[in-house]
Structure 1
Amino acid sequence: MLMGLALAGCAVGPNYRRPDAPAVDRFTPSALPASTVSADAVNGDAQRFLRGRDVPQRWWTAFGNQELDRRVHQALAHSPSIAAAQASLRQAQENARAAGGARLPAVDAGAGATREKLSAAQSGAGRVVGPYTLYNASVSVGYTLDLFGGVRRGIEAQEALSDVQRAQLDSTYLTLAGNVVTASLLEASLREQIRATEQIVKMQRDSLDIAEKQRKIGAKSLSDTLAVRAQLATTQATLPPLRARLAATRNRLATYLGVPPAQLEAAPLTLDAVRLPRDIPVSLPSKLVDQRPDIQAASAQLHAASAQVGVATAAMLPQITLSGSAGSQTLSAGDLFSAGTGAWSVGLNLTQPLFHGGELLHKKRAAQAGLDKARADWQQTVLVAFQNVADALQALQYDAQTLAAQATAEQAASQRLALTREQYRLGATGYLDLLDAERSLQQARINLIQARAARLSDTAALYTALGGGWRGDDSTMSPAATASSAAPAVAN
C-alpha cells in the first residue's frame, strides 16, 4: 500500500504539450497595406486592416442588416447540425465522467439462493447430502492500484475527447453562421443579377418593337430585325439558369435555418441593404492558434492520442488489485446475518503480463503511431488555417481593385449605350452597334453586381477564417457556452 501511494503521483507515457505554432508575424508573403483601394460604387469604401485586433464574437452584425442577423440566430437555434454537435458533446462528457469512476473502489452487493444435492462422493461423508437450499448475501469491494497511471491516462484521454467535441461544436456554430451569411449574400446577388437582366430584356424588347415598326415602313432591313430578336432571345436564355441558382440557394438556406424549403420564411435581401464593414480586425498569427475551433479540436485530439500512449504502456506493467468481501451464508433465509453465519475474505492480486504474443507491444506501437498522426494532423490543420486567412486577406485586396474597375466599366458602358442610342436615333449608326452597346452594358452590370457580392462574401470568409471570435474574452456570451459550461475540466 505504501509503495502504491508513493507511485500514485507517477504516470507513464508522455505528458501532453501542444506543439509550437509557426514562428511568423503575418499571414501573407508581404506586409498588409493599411487599407484597400476605394471604388465609386455602393459598398465601394476602402477597408482598413486593424492588425492585432480581436474578431468580434457576433461578427455577422458588422454587416448592419437585421434580416441577416435574424437568419443567423434562427440557424443557430434550430439547425439539426447544432443539435447533433451538442448531443455529441454531452455524450463525450458523460463518457469522461464514467471513466473518472475508475479512481474510486468498486462496491457491489449481491444476494442469492442455490438449491443443491451432493452425491456420496461429493459430500465426503459417504452418503448423499440434500437436497438443501443455500442462501447468501454479501458486499464486495474491489480496487486496482493505479501504480503507473494507466487509469489516469485513460481518464485524461476521455476528457481530451470531450474537448474535441466541445471544439467541434464551436466549429459547427462558426461554419453554420458563415454558411448562412454566404448563402444570403449569394441570394441577394442572384436577385440583383436577375433584376438587371430583366431590365436589359425590357430594353431589347423595346428595341425589337421599334425595329419591327421600322421594317414595316421599309426603314430597316429584315437582317437588322433578326439581329435584335436573336439578341433578345440570348438575353432571355440567361434568366432560367439564374432563377434555378436562386431557387437552389434558397433551398440550401432553408436547410441551414432548420426548416423544409416549403416552409422558408425569409424576407428578400438586397446588396444595397448590406453594409460593408470598413474596419477589419486581423488577429495575430499566434492568436489564431488559440481561437480557431478546428485547431482547438486538433489540439484536443493530439492530447487524447498522447494519453493513449500512457494507457498502452501501463498495460505492459504490473497490475495490483485489492479485493474484499463480507456477507452471510445460511440454509434458511430467516437466519441470514445471524450469529455464526458470517463469512469474509480479503485478497491482493498481482498480475505481471509475461507473454501475450506481442499483443501489448504492438498496441503500444500503434498508440505511438497514433500520436505521430495526431501531431501531423495538428500541423496540417494549422497550415490550412493560415492559408485560409492569407487567401481571404489577399482576396479582399483584389476584390477592392476589381470593384473599382467594374464600377468604371459599368459607368463607361452606360454612357456608351446612351450615346449609341442617340446616334442610332439620328441615323448615324446601325442596329449592330446598338445591340453591342446593350450587350456590353448587360455584362458590365452583371460583373459589377458579382464584384460587390464577392467583396461582401470574402469579408465574411475572413471573419470565419480568423475563428469568428468564439474563443474571445466574451466567450460566455457564445451559443456554445451553455453546452460547455457543465463540461469536466481536463487534467493536464
Structure 2
Amino acid sequence: GERGEGGEAARESDSSSVDFDVVRRRGESERGSSVPDTVRRAIAALPRELEGEEEVPDVWISREFSERDPVKERLVEQALKTSPLIDAARARVRAAAASVREARSSYLPTIGVSERYTTTDDPTAAFSSVLEQGRFTNATMANINSPSRVDDWATSLYLRALIFDFGRRAANIRAAKEMKRRMELMDAATARDVRYNVTAAYDDLLSARATVALWKKTVELIERHRDLVKAYYDAGVVLYSDLLSVEVKLAAVREELVSARNAVEVAYSRLAAAVGISKEALEIEEKALARPIYRGTEEEAVAAAREANPVIVSLGAAVEAARNKAAAAGKGNLPTISAEVRRDWHGADEKIGLDRRSVTAAVVVDVPFFDGWRTKARREAAEARVEEAAAVRRQALLDLELAARTAHNGVREALKRIEIADSSVEAARAALRIIEERYRSGMAKIVDLIEAERGLTEARVNAVRARAAAWKALAAVERVAGRKVVLGAGRKRGAFEVEGTRGGGYER
C-alpha cells in the first residue's frame, strides 16, 4: 500500500534516527488511509511514549557510609550457633578437654576386681594352690612330687598406683593443657572464618540482587525500544536491519539478566551453607549497599595479626605442647616407683567361694637398663616435632603479615574503586543524556541510545560490585587482624588480644 511521502527514502537509509514531529504528522495524516489502525496508533504514540520514559533509578546504590549491617550481624550470630564448622571446632575442644582429664587421671590409683580360675598338676603350683585353699594335709605331702590335678577359684580386689616417675606425668599434663588451649584458639579462628564466609556470601547476595534489578529494568527499557522500532519498521520508517540490531542488543542484555539471576541463586546457596541452615529458611530483605567505613592502618593490621590472630597464637600453644611431649619422652628410661595392694579370696574344696582370705602389699622399683634405644628414638622424634612446630609458626607469622598487608591495601583499593565507579556512573548518565538529545533531534541511531543505556547499567552494576568488594575486603581485614583494627581501636602495640576466647595474648 501507499506509505506516504518520504517512506521509501527512509527505508533506503542506513540510519534509525527519527524526526518525531514528522512521524507524528505522518501518523495523523494516515488515519484515513489503508495503514492498519494498530500501526497508526503506535506511530501516533511513539513520541509521547518515548518522552514519558524514565531512566533506571539508582535505588540499589547507596552513597551513605556504614560501619555495620544489622542483618549481616544477625546472620553471623546465627551462623556461630548453627554452622557445622563451629560444631566441629567445639567438638575438638571437648576432645582436648577430655585428654587433659585423661592425663590428670594418671595420678589416681587403679582399683579393680578380678576372678581367676586355674587348674594345674605342677608340684609347686599345686602345692601353693592347696595352701591358699586351706586344704593342706599329710596326704598332700605324700603326693607332693606327683600331685593330682588341682583346681582353684580366686577372687581379687586390687589397688595399683604409680608413685614416682621423675615428672613424666606432669609433662604429659602440661602438653595436654597446651593442646586444649590450641583447640580453643582454633575455635576462635573457625569463628573468624565463619564470619568471613557469611559476610562474603551476604554481600555477594545483595550485589547479585541489585544486579538483577538493574538488568531487569534495562531489559524492560530496551524491550520498549524494540517495540517502537518495530512500529517504525511497520510504518516504513526504518530498515529491517535496524530492527535486527535492536534484537541483538536486547538478547545481549537478556543474557546479562540470566547470568545475574543465576548469581542470585548461587549466592543464596552460599549464604545458606555459610550460616548452616536450609536455603528456604533464609529471609533477606532487599536493600542498597552502602560504603563501608575503615579506620585501620597497615601497622595496626600487621601488629594485630602477629599478636592476636588465633591461628598464630594456637601455633605457639602447639610449640609448647611439643616441648612438653619431648620432655615426657626423654624420661622414658628413668626409674619408676609403684605400689600395689591386693586382697584375695579362695573357695574351699576347689569350689567358688570366699572361704580363705589373704592380703598382699608390694612396692616396686622398676629400673630399666636397656630398652633397645626405644626411649632415645622417641625423644629424638619428639624434639624434631618441636622444631617442626616452631618452623611452622615462623612461616605462619610471615604469611599472616603478608595477609594483613594485602587485606589492608585491598580495602584501600576497594574504597578507591567505589569512587571511580561512582564517577563512571555520573559520566555514563551524562553520556546518555547527550545521546538522548541527539536521538530526539534525529542525529543518533536507536542502537546508539541502547548502547548508552546499557553503558549506564554496566556502570551502575560496577558501582554495586565495587561496594560488595569493599565490604568483602573489610571482612578479610577482620579475619586476619580482628575487629579492633577495622574500627581503629587499639593504637598501641600489645593492645590486641584474641577475640572469641577468654585469654588474651600468648607467648610471642
1-side partners of 2:255 and 2:112: how far apart?
79
2-side partners of 1:63 and 1:161: how far apart?
36
2-side partners of 1:117 and 1:397: how far apart?
87
2-side partners of 1:229 and 1:284: how far apart?
52
Question: How many Å apart are 1:44 and its aligned residue?
Answer: 6.4
Aligned to 2:341: 325
Asked whether the equivalents of residues 201 and 274 of structure 2 are also in contact (C-alpha less than 8 Å), the reply is no
1-side partners of 2:499 and 2:325: how far apart?
34
Residue deviations 1:197-244, cap 9 Å, x none? Answer: 112212211221221122222222222221111011011111222211
Asked whether the equivalents of residues 43 and 276 of structure 1 are also in contact (C-alpha less than 8 Å), the reply is no
1-side partners of 2:301 and 2:417: how far apart?
27
RMSD across aligned positions (CA): 3.0
Aligned to 2:62: 42
2:236 is paired with a residue whose SS is coil
Cα 1:365–1:217 change in 2 (3 A) is same
What TM-score do you get using the length of structure 1 for normalisation? 0.77
Aligned to 1:347: 363
Gap regions ≥5 residues in structure 1 = 1-40, 46-61, 485-489
Pairing 1:301–2:318 present: yes
Of 129-138 and 371-380, the range deviating more from structure 2: 129-138
2-side partners of 1:396 and 1:195: how far apart?
26
Aligned to 2:92: 88
User: Counterpart amino acid of 1:118?
Assistant: D
Asked whether the equivalents of residues 411 and 473 of structure 2 are also in contact (C-alpha less than 8 Å), the reply is yes
Residue deviations 1:110-162, cap 9 Å, x none? Answer: 34353545366854624535645443433333315221x32222222211111
Aligned to 1:221: 239
2-side partners of 1:160 and 1:318: how far apart?
24
Cα 1:434–1:242 change in 2 (3 A) is same
Cα 1:118–1:67 change in 2 (3 A) is same
Q: List 4+ stretches of structure 1 deviating above 6 A.
A: 472-477
Aligned to 1:205: 223
Residue deviations 1:229-281, cap 9 Å, x none? Answer: 101101111122221121111112112222222x3222234234x56235447
Aligned to 2:140: none
Asked whether the equivalents of residues 135 and 330 of structure 1 are also in contact (C-alpha less than 8 Å), the reply is yes
Of 199-208 and 63-72, the range deviating more from structure 2: 63-72
2-side partners of 1:374 and 1:196: how far apart?
52
Cα 1:323–1:207 change in 2 (3 A) is same
Task: Give the alignment partner of residue 69 of structure 1, picking from 50, 55, 73.
Answer: 73
Asked whether the equivalents of residues 211 and 225 of structure 1 are also in contact (C-alpha less than 8 Å), the reply is yes
Asked whether the equivalents of residues 271 and 453 of structure 1 are also in contact (C-alpha less than 8 Å), the reply is no
Residue deviations 1:15-64, cap 9 Å, x none? Answer: xxxxxxxxxxxxxxxxxxxxxxxxxx73465xxxxxxxxxxxxxxxx744
Pairing 1:249–2:267 present: yes
Asked whether the equivalents of residues 188 and 268 of structure 1 are also in contact (C-alpha less than 8 Å), the reply is no
Residue deviations 1:137-192, cap 9 Å, x none? Answer: 33333315221x32222222211111121111111111111111111011000111
Task: Give the alignment partner of residue 183 of structure 1, picking from 183, 201, 207.
Answer: 201
Of 89-98 and 198-207, the range deviating more from structure 2: 198-207
Pairing 1:335–2:335 present: no
Pairing 1:165–2:174 present: no
Pairing 1:288–2:305 present: yes
Cα 1:233–1:202 change in 2 (3 A) is same
Task: Give the alignment partner of residue 139 of structure 1, picking from 126, 151, 158.
Answer: 158
Asked whether the equivalents of residues 165 and 334 of structure 2 are also in contact (C-alpha less than 8 Å), the reply is no
Task: Give the alignment partner of residue 435 of structure 2, picking from 416, 420, 423.
Answer: 420
1:251 is paired with a residue whose SS is helix
Larger Rg: 2
Aligned to 1:38: none
User: Counterpart amino acid of 1:222?
Assistant: Y
User: Counterpart amino acid of 1:151?
Assistant: R
Paired residues, number: 416
2:162 is paired with a residue whose SS is strand
Of 433-442 and 225-234, the range deviating more from structure 2: 433-442
2:361 is paired with a residue whose SS is strand
Cα 1:314–1:131 change in 2 (3 A) is closer
2-side partners of 1:156 and 1:469: how far apart?
32
Aligned to 1:110: 113
1-side partners of 2:258 and 2:64: how far apart?
30
2-side partners of 1:311 and 1:119: how far apart?
44
Residue deviations 1:291-331, cap 9 Å, x none? Answer: 2111122111112222222122222x322232232424444
2:110 is paired with a residue whose SS is strand
Aligned to 2:26: none
1-side partners of 2:294 and 2:327: how far apart?
51
What TM-score do you get using the length of structure 2 for normalisation? 0.74
Asked whether the equivalents of residues 321 and 348 of structure 1 are also in contact (C-alpha less than 8 Å), the reply is yes
Task: Give the alignment partner of residue 213 of structure 2, picking from 173, 192, 195.
Answer: 195
Question: How many Å apart are 1:105 and its aligned residue?
Answer: 4.5
**Higher relative contact order (CA closer than 8 Å, sequence separation 6+):** 1
Cα 1:83–1:355 change in 2 (3 A) is closer
Structure with higher helix content: 2
Aligned to 2:83: 79
Percent of aligned positions that are identical: 19
